[in-house]
């Protein structure tokens, strides 16, 4: 099994850093608009969590299109299960 590259190991840290920047930006905008530190803190936290959630879902959806041999595909790229017939079986 091969070790992940430095870029692959730092990918989660990049996502958290981007979410932190978006949360800080939302906090600064809220602080300028409301002049209340409590409101700015709450909005910064909500923006951080929302950004982290969205970025994580986008990273999950992107996935690696060609996984290494022997590994399963990402959840969102798996083939759909065959549809079952709606007809009831008579026995």
In a domain, 36, yes or no: yes
2 in any annotated domain: no
| pLDDT over 60 at 81, yes or no | no
pLDDT band for position 2 (cuts 50, 70, 90)? confident
Inside any domain, residue 71: no
Number of domains the chain is built from: 1
CA atoms within 13 A on the CB side of 61: 6
Band (pLDDT 50/70/90 cuts) for residue 80 is low
DSSP labels, 35-73:
--HHHHHHHHHHHHHHHHHHHHHHHHHH--SSPPTTSPP
In a domain, 41, yes or no: yes
Residue 7 located in a structural domain: no
Is 82 among the domain residues?
no
Q: What is the pTM of this model?
A: 0.64
Residue 43 lies in domain:
17-61
């Amino acid at each position: 099994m091969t070790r992940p590259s430095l870029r692959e190991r730092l990918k989660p840290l990049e996502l958290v850093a981007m979410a932190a920047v978006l949360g800080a930006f939302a906090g600064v905008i809220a602080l300028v608009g409301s002049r209340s530190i409590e409101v700015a803190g709450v909005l910064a936290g909500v923006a951080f969590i929302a950004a982290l959630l969205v970025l994580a879902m986008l990273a999950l959806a992107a996935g690696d299109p060609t996984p290494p041999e022997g590994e399963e595909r990402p959840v969102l790229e798996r083939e759909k299960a065959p549809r079952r017939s709606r007809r009831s079986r008579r026995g």
